[in-house]
Structure 1
Amino acid sequence: MTGEESLRPQSLMLTFLGDQVLGRDVCVYSGSVIDVFARVGVGEQATRSTLTRMVNRGLLRRQREGRRMYFGLTERSAAVLRDGEHRIWQTGAVNRHWDGSWTLLGFSLPESWQRQRHDLRSQLTWSGFGPLFSGLWIAPGEVDVSSLVAELGLSAHVKVFRAHADAGMDIGAMIEETWELAELAARYAAFVRRWQPWLTERADAEDALALRLRLQAEWLRVIRQDPRLPVRHLPDDWPAEEAEKTFRAVHERFTPLAREASERLLDLVPVRDGQA
């Protein structure tokens, strides 16, 4: 499945707003969003539905100016976007500075709690954990899962430890047994195949704006599925570094044209308190 087929409109919307609105105290006109999303292949009805759903979920705020409706970020969505921004530009895809520590999380839930077990496993996977054994999960470094566990209401059923492996432990083998490395490597390789050609292909300003939006959304999706395993224990041909170089180079190439298109196409207004 290609990135074009699998990216959800909400993911694109958050990426778009993070790029154009985050930190600026402005709202963007719905018509501008519709125009940009049409260039990414998202129809008007899908874009309007996404805006409405995100307002209902507390991820967007509405602000009316005359007959036009504008949309901006809430505190919740801004926090999500700042986290993504940090992951892209500061944390990165390659973990070269691992301190040798692990976070171990053990849980024991009643047999009938199938939904809670599924939710916990999903959240742990999203947070970079892998199943060392059925009820014992592990992640590299120090991972704070207190809010995750509390939100699921499972604090009494979960135990968390920090640990180091014994000197004779084959960490590389443990990683291969715990995480789907082939699947993760394939996602990085697919990203490189899709985006490297854009280091030389030409794009006009409007296309560059749409392409940079999709580039950022696809890259964030890939790295958020990566537990950031220590690179010294990964295969020598691990493709994350090449993928990250590709992302940064293509992003840099698109940025001047994308900014030009943004200034021309986007109708922005300052945020006014009390609007919803």
Structure 2
Amino acid sequence: MSVHVSSDDVGVPRAQAGPNPQHLLTTLLGEYLDSSDADLPSMAVVAMLGEFGISESSARAALSRLTRRGLIAVRGTGRPPVYHLTPRAIARHRSRMDHFLGFGARPPRWTGDWVTVSFSIPQSGQAPRHTVRKALGALGFARLYDSVWIRPGSDSGPVTQALHDILDDVDGSRWSVMHARFDQEAGPHGPAAAYDLAGLASAYEAFIARYAELRVAVRDGEVDATRALVARTSVMDSWRRFPDIDPDLPAHLLPAPWPRQAARDLMLEIHSALGSLAEARLVQVATPYWPDAASWITHFRASENSVSVPAGRDG
């Protein structure tokens, strides 16, 4: 598995030339709304994204894309349109916030088990080969050898189903799903060789360097509400990549020192300290177009057990 995350990739918002409106809007909705009952006017969304330099046309395009994806829906037939988060989106956001804020909180329970996939596809099967590799990557597998992929743990159900779906109708293809243990797990021929851990460590270090000055400013009380919204959203938008690219290997397979804890501590400090200020700024920006904004806008925080909950709620 090659992580290939440069310092530029860690920067937020992500795009080749400026913020990615759809990605940014997903982060904002996930961080600051927690009810499908809230009526969200389109102009309020335009104003929110305007804080990040997103144009009105790009904001409306982001709304359309999220509507097509089923994360938001139009309520009624009025003009201008009013949107709401779908129940599916609320469930997804809560789950993802738990994932983002809880990631790295405690070492994984380690049994030494690995799920191993080996497959063979005829040379003419470039398309299914690409599909298999993409599916394996999405399921957290890394390529140990050309057609041998591994992931920590013992749950093989999802990958078995994925391979059935992709390869059952591909003539000449063969595949196996196995449970394995490595005789020399921590050695140079062990599973860590499948991962670009040096690249991942560099990504964590770039994250720390990017936000070190912001942490100092937060500690010194120099971040006002206007800056807090953009800064806090940027930190989360940067951090949220790591749970998806970090395989969360046990400590004995990681190079020392491993920078994830330092990066997580920085993220949590900024995220927690700026939550109320960012929420206040979002309410201020949205209220001219959404009079009920203060009744619906909240912010997620990490609780003592590392599960995210909306601020002011019991979870």
User: Could you say whether these structures have the same fold, taking a TM-score greater than 0.5 normalized by the shorter chain as the test?
Assistant: yes
Cα drift, residue 145 of structure 1: 5.3
Cα drift, residue 155 of structure 1: 5.7
- Answering whether residue 22 of structure 2 is matched by residue 6 of structure 1, we say no
- Answering whether residue 179 of structure 2 is matched by residue 162 of structure 1, we say yes
In the alignment, structure 1 segments of 5+ residues that lack a partner are: 272-276
Cα pair 1:96 1:232 within 8 Å, conserved? no
1:213-247 CA-to-partner distances (Å, cap 9, x unmatched) read: 22112111122111112122101111111111111
Cα drift, residue 158 of structure 1: 4.2
Match of 1:215 in 2: 235
Match of 1:274 in 2: none
The one-letter amino acid paired with 1:4 is V
Which residues of 2 match residues 115-154 of structure 1 at below 5 A?
115-144=127-156, 146=158, 149-150=161-162, 153-154=165-166
- Answering whether residue 61 of structure 2 is matched by residue 49 of structure 1, we say yes
- Residue 186 to residue 162, structure 1, CA distance change in 2 (3 Å): same
Structure 2-normalised TM-score?
0.75
Match of 2:261 in 1: 241
Match of 1:39 in 2: 51
Cα pair 1:59 1:73 within 8 Å, conserved? yes
Match of 1:203 in 2: 223
Match of 1:16 in 2: 28
In the alignment, structure 2 segments of 5+ residues that lack a partner are: 1-7, 169-173, 297-315
- Answering whether residue 248 of structure 2 is matched by residue 228 of structure 1, we say yes
Helix, strand or coil at the partner of 1:68? coil
Cα pair 1:21 1:72 within 8 Å, conserved? no
Judge which range, 118-127 or 141-150, deviates more.
141-150
Distance 1:119 1:172 in 2: 29
- Residue 93 to residue 231, structure 1, CA distance change in 2 (3 Å): farther
Helix, strand or coil at the partner of 2:73? strand
1:33-88 CA-to-partner distances (Å, cap 9, x unmatched) read: 22222222322221111111221232321124853323223344344423322211
Helix, strand or coil at the partner of 1:161? strand
- Residue 154 to residue 95, structure 1, CA distance change in 2 (3 Å): farther
- Bigger helix fraction: 1
- Answering whether residue 277 of structure 2 is matched by residue 257 of structure 1, we say yes
Structure 1-normalised TM-score?
0.84
Pick the aligned partner of 1:87 from 99, 102, 105. 99
Q: Percent identity?
A: 29
Helix, strand or coil at the partner of 1:121? helix
Match of 2:209 in 1: 193
- Residue 99 to residue 40, structure 1, CA distance change in 2 (3 Å): farther
Cα drift, residue 111 of structure 1: 2.4
Cα pair 2:36 2:84 within 8 Å, conserved? no
- Residue 155 to residue 82, structure 1, CA distance change in 2 (3 Å): farther
Cα pair 2:139 2:159 within 8 Å, conserved? no
Cα pair 2:114 2:150 within 8 Å, conserved? yes
User: How many residues of Structure 1 are paired with residues of Structure 2 in the alignment?
Assistant: 270
- Residue 219 to residue 257, structure 1, CA distance change in 2 (3 Å): same
- Residue 19 to residue 99, structure 1, CA distance change in 2 (3 Å): same
Match of 2:89 in 1: 77
1:239-269 CA-to-partner distances (Å, cap 9, x unmatched) read: 1111111110110111120122233333358
Judge which range, 214-223 or 113-122, deviates more.
113-122
